[in-house]
Structure 1
Amino acid sequence: MIKSILYILMLFCILSCKDEKEAAETIENTAKTESDIASEKISEIKDGHTSENSLDWEGSYSGVLPCADCEGIDTRLILRKDQTYQLKLRYLGIPEKESQDFISEGKFSWEVDGNNILLEGEKVDFQNFKVGELFLMPLDKDGNELKRMPGNNFKLLKS
């Protein structure tokens, strides 16, 4: 009788260990599956999703950009689907009679990564922009974002 009880206990222990092992393997496989899915999503983003082909970038953007010798540059930039633009600038903080709108038009091109644009032919301080969801971020000549100041992050917001 004691031998029978011992055999039953041993069998029970073996079966319960097997279930824990299977459960651990199942959890491990699930974790790998979730990890694989996350990796696939990241590679999809790297493989083809850019501002150019994923965002609704066409439209009008406006905001105030920094100025070396005035209070700021009231800026309005219109991007069209045919990769042309219109840029309107007004320098703030100068006498009204000296203030005028500067308007230029031309073509823009996308950089290789598909996330930044370059206004071709412009001689202004800001001709490179990072294209984001509902905004344009001006970039300096080296392609870096401008240093933000309290009260202004220098983004041109889509209207």
Structure 2
Amino acid sequence: MRNFIAQQVIFLGITTLLFNVSCQDEKKESKQDAQTEWEEKSPKKKWDYTGVYQVTLPCVDCSGIIVKLHLNEDGSYRIVKNYNGNDDTPGEIKTETGKYQWSENDSLIILNNQKFRISDNVISWKDPEIARIKKDSSKTYSLRMISKDSIMK
């Protein structure tokens, strides 16, 4: 009887060990599949994101801030902010240029420490850092592509 119980314990131990080894292989494969899937879905590879995007932001002391964002294939960008004038003051234009970077997992574009999420012909901009904007930290602004022409003018 002891011999039978010993055989059953050994059988269960080997079965459990084999089951655990096979599950670990599946986990490794699923991690690799997830990484490949993410790379295929990353905005950097999925969409043709270069071009000119535009949004009108609210403004405390003007009728609105028209923002045009130019993204170029070479990693350069240009943001033009046109502060529409009201009756008392004429409009003011501010321009910023530089190089954009992709976040570590290629899900966001980073311009001067501000993060933008890319999707098909739209860029989402959460809480833009503009001094004259009405602050609402829960608001996300969508810049829509207005031109595929990404040459900065």
Question: Shared topology, TM-score over 0.5?
Answer: yes
In structure 1, stretches of 5+ residues that fail to align are: 1-38, 122-126, 149-153
Length-normalised TM-score, structure 2: 0.58
Distance across 1 between alignment mates of 2:104 and 2:145: 23
In the TM superposition, residue 66 of structure 1 has moved relative to its aligned partner by 3.2
Q: In the alignment, what sits opposite 2:52?
A: 60
Structure ID, larger Rg: 1
Q: 1:158 aligns with which of 145, 150, 153?
A: 145
Q: In the alignment, what sits opposite 1:108?
A: 100
Q: What CA RMSD, in Å, does the superposition of the two structures yield over aligned residues?
A: 2.8
Which gives a bigger RCO, structure 1 or 2 (Cα 8 Å, sep 6+)? 2
CA separation of 1:130 and 1:146: change in aligned 2, threshold 3 A: farther
In structure 2, stretches of 5+ residues that fail to align are: 1-29, 129-136, 147-153
Does residue 129 (structure 1) correspond to residue 112 (structure 2)? The answer is no
Counterpart amino acid of residue 64 in structure 1: T
Query: What does 1:1-159 align with in structure 2 at a 5 Å threshold?
Result: 43=34, 44-95=36-87, 97-120=89-112, 127-140=114-127, 146-147=138-139, 154-159=141-146
C-alpha deviations, 1:98-154, integer Å up to 9, x for none? 312111111111111212111137xxxxx321111101110237xxx8526xxxxx2
Number of corresponding residues:
107
C-alpha deviations, 1:53-94, integer Å up to 9, x for none? 111001110111233443431010000011100110011353
CA contact (8 A) 1:109 1:120 kept: no
